[in-house]
Structure 1
Amino acid sequence: MSQEQLAVQRVRKAFQTGRSKPLDFRVQQLKNLQRFISERQNDFIDALKKDLYKSKNGTLLYEILGLEGEIKLALSRLAEWAAPRPVVKSLLTISDEVYIRPEPLGVVLIIGAWNYPIAVTLQPLVGAIAAGNAVVVKPSEVSSYTAKVMELLNTYLDPEMYHVVTGGVPETQELLKQRFDHIFYTGNSTVGKLVMEAAARHLTPVTLELGGKSPCYIDKGCDLRIACRRITWGKFVNCGQTCIAPDYILCEPSIQDKVVEEIRKCIQDFYTDDPKTFTDYGRIINQRHFKRILALMEGSTVAIGGGHDESLCYIAPTVLKDVTPESKVMQEEIFGPLLPIVPVNGLTEAIQFINEREKPLAIYVFSPSKKVIKKMMSETSSGALLANDCLVHFTISDLPFGGVGNSGTGCYHGKYTFDQLSHLRSCLIKNLKMEKLNLIRYPPHTSGKLRWARMLLTKQVNLKRWRQLMKVAMLAALAVFVVKRFLR
């Protein structure tokens, strides 16, 4: 029996004890996770410096702060999320208890990604713990130093209920042979298909947070200085290795050169004349990805950057202009610091260009016109749509984060993670009285019974509204009584 199989069996056995169901247990585990992040913060900072050349403040800003916020939110709202949720009743069930009860799914497998190895691995874990599940965590082996720190999680959380499995592709493949109650995967669509195929053997539901080529349309009427500043930040943060980074720009030929010049200014402003020596400019994760990204530049005109150093896995912030749909850089998700500009003749052509391709994780549109924004929103499909900014929707816990079609399935963040990793169980508690009311469903099925059934089953009762009306009626009656007493 493999180590992975043993780990899953141990975790499932722990879940079956039921000790993860009480809210006190979940709260304590969330606090332990909070302590893990706090006490191992310097270890994570050192690890990410080695893995991706992330600066200390960059790690705190893009990895730690959002995770801490998710934990605090879960701790403050857990009782509310886990409480039974009443639903609208029909006249037939007006005297019954009818509600939705969130329950743990069971054993969840979380497979993390290497580009933000703390945030995208531990944020789903927050929701999994809050929902009362047992969890097997598989950090990405590509960010190997961070994965090593992640192993220490076993010493903070209940070691039987939560287990970290490290290793490479063989270990992941072995895990996917096991039966889980949910699999949460963050990564690319190629591996996402393999995860979904493995899950299908056990009819295991999946959440797939994938990626794709997220387009960025720039309207010629917008403030190019501000637009390009936000696009430059969104594209080159983490050296372009962000699943929701703007993958390419669509704009009219008349403003292409202006866009290039504004981005040139922003790169210099953000990363100095020599990004290679700048603290807050990262590196490509490894040489395999370095070579893949360089190959994507073939056949395209370099407008900005293009410099690289294989020994350091360094590629300068690079802009490519006059890119065609057939260019090599347009055939796959870039996931690196290359920003192609594809000229299009206006909004309609941009929308057609987007719709001819797989649905992206995000669409970005920069325009002062609400009409332009609404047209882009109504005529395209994507995981998210942002107008006049990039990436920041990821920071909002009340927005579900996820893709559609090729960019993923399912969503998370805040309560959405809790619901995604819960079984929302339908509950109806009836009593054995008022049996005459139920006679309409018993044979023989007469036309008279059908008329009563239609009224009782199709007429919804909003008890909250009825209670409000009753309060108003009681207050009105009280007011009439007081007035009459006063006038005597």
Structure 2
Amino acid sequence: MRETVEALRNGFKKGKMQSVEARQKNLLKLKHALLSYEHELYNALYEDLGKSEFESFETEFGILMMEINEAVKHCKAWSRCKRVGTPLMLMPSSSMIQPEPLGVVLVMSPWNYPLQLSIAPLVASMSAGNCTLIKPSSYSPSVSAVLKKMINENFDFEIVRVIEGGREVNEAVLKERFDHIFFTGSVHVGKVVMRAAAETLTPLTLELGGKSPCIVAADADLKMAAKRIIWGKAMNCGQTCVAPDTLFVHESVKDQLIEAMKQSIHEFYPQGCLASPIYGKIVNQKHFDRLCGYLKEGRILTGGHIDREAHKIELTLIDGLSENDELLKEEIFGPILPVLTYQDIEEVFDYVRAHEKPLAAYLFTNDRDLQKHFRKDLSFGGGCINTTLLHLSNSKLGFGGVGSSGMGQYHGYRGFCELSHFKSILKKSRLEAPVQYPPYGNKLKLMKFFMK
């Protein structure tokens, strides 16, 4: 482990990613490597998560192509020294901010989007000029193996490496010194990573999770809302950190919305979720058993059937829950959606505020005042109005959590910023400003004139 990290540090010291040209060259090499391994990666995603080729492209491969294109196009401009204003008191001088790379970055990625969440942070790291070590999750072994082969065969080992392994490897890698740690995963493991980072005062990005609320107002287009909520919940069989986790619907339209959601499920999977070749599976037995336990809570409105051998669970809507039910306390991370009703929107806002800040939130309404209220007065990492999930696919929007759902942002320019240091520099001319030097005499009055 230490030799791998030292090799990357040597690569950084040699300036192998320092120039913009080197960054663009390696980003393009990454794009070509992904294209060369495209179908091998699709097969691996199917083996680990049952993802169809369309879903794999839509949620992983295609997003990475856009991220790389954005970084190649703009990293030169992002890396430029930028002039900023200088107060009169400091004249004559000029002020500037110079972005610089941090050094060696550790990326610890999860199993649910094992390709996108390994490579998107790498794109940010490369665009900023860092060298990178990637540690994928052992829960997605097929994708991890392809990633290791793709990266380690195509790149200088002093620029980027992939290592595999389970908990022991995670513990070993966290004992090494990095210049930044980028972790995506659960809140529990995020705390472990943060404690390890504290030992060396290593800055870190945490992309965690939470219970993302989805709110449907009485005036919403119910058919559209149903389709977009089911689409967002079904993606990757609900194993998405920004999936709708609790549905809040105005009591006057609950029955209509539920019927529309049942219809959407049938339209998406006419042969049924369990038989559909485009409906994913739960990653392993442990998570499958956990989700099956949730099916015993409340009242099932639709779904609830399982295929234990295939690790598949139907899209399931459940109501009749109490505040003590696990479905309302834990992040679900599966194709089960609790349904709660409300009379006044403030009930929902108060409920959300009473819990940890979520990674995402969604609102369906045509009321512009309510949309503004949602944007301004409810705290969450990011979200959508009148759709779900799509905010994270726009590289112009930063993606990240707030509070216990995470810290830091990435995608596009925000990723470059996250993995750069912005160095402040003031350049003084040869002309002197005598007021700053002792003896001070009556200079205080002049100083106050310029600084007040």
Which category describes the TM-score, using the shorter chain as reference length?
over 0.9
Q: Rg: which structure is higher?
A: 1
Q: Is 1:121 equivalent to 2:115 in the alignment?
A: no
Match of 2:141 in 1: 144
Report deviation, 1:94: 4.0
Letter in 1 for 2:346: T
2:279 and 2:424 map into 1 onto residues whose CA distance is: 50
2:417 and 2:383 map into 1 onto residues whose CA distance is: 22
1:430 and 1:297 map into 2 onto residues whose CA distance is: 68
2:322 and 2:33 map into 1 onto residues whose CA distance is: 48
Conserved in 1, the CA contact under 8 Å of 2:16 and 2:159?
Answer: no
2:77 and 2:90 map into 1 onto residues whose CA distance is: 25
Q: Is 1:7 equivalent to 2:4 in the alignment?
A: yes
Conserved in 2, the CA contact under 8 Å of 1:216 and 1:247?
Answer: yes
Match of 1:16 in 2: 13
Match of 1:99 in 2: 96
Q: Is 1:304 equivalent to 2:302 in the alignment?
A: yes
Match of 1:133 in 2: 130
2:138 and 2:252 map into 1 onto residues whose CA distance is: 45
Report deviation, 1:146: 0.2
SS at match of 1:272: coil
Report deviation, 1:455: 4.2
194-203 or 378-387, which moves further after superposition?
378-387
> What is the root-mean-square deviation of aligned Cα atoms in Å?
1.3
1:453 to 435, 443, 447: 447
Match of 1:177 in 2: 175
Match of 1:213 in 2: 211
Letter in 1 for 2:408: G
Match of 1:444 in 2: 439
Runs of 4+ deviating beyond 4 Å: none
48-57 or 89-98, which moves further after superposition?
89-98
- Runs of 5+ unmatched residues, structure 2: none
Match of 2:200 in 1: 202
Conserved in 1, the CA contact under 8 Å of 2:254 and 2:341?
Answer: yes
Match of 2:73 in 1: 76
1:258 and 1:273 map into 2 onto residues whose CA distance is: 23
Report deviation, 1:364: 0.7
2:343 and 2:30 map into 1 onto residues whose CA distance is: 51
Report deviation, 1:397: 1.1
Report deviation, 1:377: 2.6
Report deviation, 1:457: 4.4
1:414 and 1:35 map into 2 onto residues whose CA distance is: 19
- For 1:243-291, what per-residue CA distance to the aligned partner results, in whole angstroms no more than 9, with x for missing partners? 0011010123332222211110000011114122212210000110000
1:93 and 1:157 map into 2 onto residues whose CA distance is: 47
Conserved in 2, the CA contact under 8 Å of 1:248 and 1:340?
Answer: yes
Match of 1:388 in 2: 386
1:416 and 1:50 map into 2 onto residues whose CA distance is: 32
2:323 and 2:222 map into 1 onto residues whose CA distance is: 24
Report deviation, 1:372: 1.4
- For 1:311-362, what per-residue CA distance to the aligned partner results, in whole angstroms no more than 9, with x for missing partners? 1000011110232322221110000000110122220101111111000001
Match of 2:232 in 1: 234
- Runs of 5+ unmatched residues, structure 1: 459-488
Letter in 1 for 2:50: Y
With the length of structure 2 as denominator, give the TM-score of the two structures: 0.97
2:92 and 2:163 map into 1 onto residues whose CA distance is: 50
Letter in 2 for 1:288: K
1:330 and 1:444 map into 2 onto residues whose CA distance is: 68
Match of 1:484 in 2: none
With the length of structure 1 as denominator, give the TM-score of the two structures: 0.90
1:250 and 1:325 map into 2 onto residues whose CA distance is: 14
Report deviation, 1:442: 1.6
Match of 2:56 in 1: 59
Match of 2:84 in 1: 87
The total of aligned residue pairs comes to: 451
Report deviation, 1:300: 1.2
- For 1:141-196, what per-residue CA distance to the aligned partner results, in whole angstroms no more than 9, with x for missing partners? 11100000011211112212211111111101100011100000011111001000
SS at match of 2:240: coil
Q: Is 1:283 equivalent to 2:281 in the alignment?
A: yes
Conserved in 2, the CA contact under 8 Å of 1:97 and 1:428?
Answer: yes
Match of 2:342 in 1: 344
Match of 1:322 in 2: 320
325 and 445 in structure 1: CA distance in 2 versus 1, 3 angstrom threshold: farther
1:58 and 1:455 map into 2 onto residues whose CA distance is: 63
- For 1:377-425, what per-residue CA distance to the aligned partner results, in whole angstroms no more than 9, with x for missing partners? 3332110132111111011111110000010000000010001000101
- For 1:3-23, what per-residue CA distance to the aligned partner results, in whole angstroms no more than 9, with x for missing partners? x22211221122111222111
2:319 and 2:274 map into 1 onto residues whose CA distance is: 22
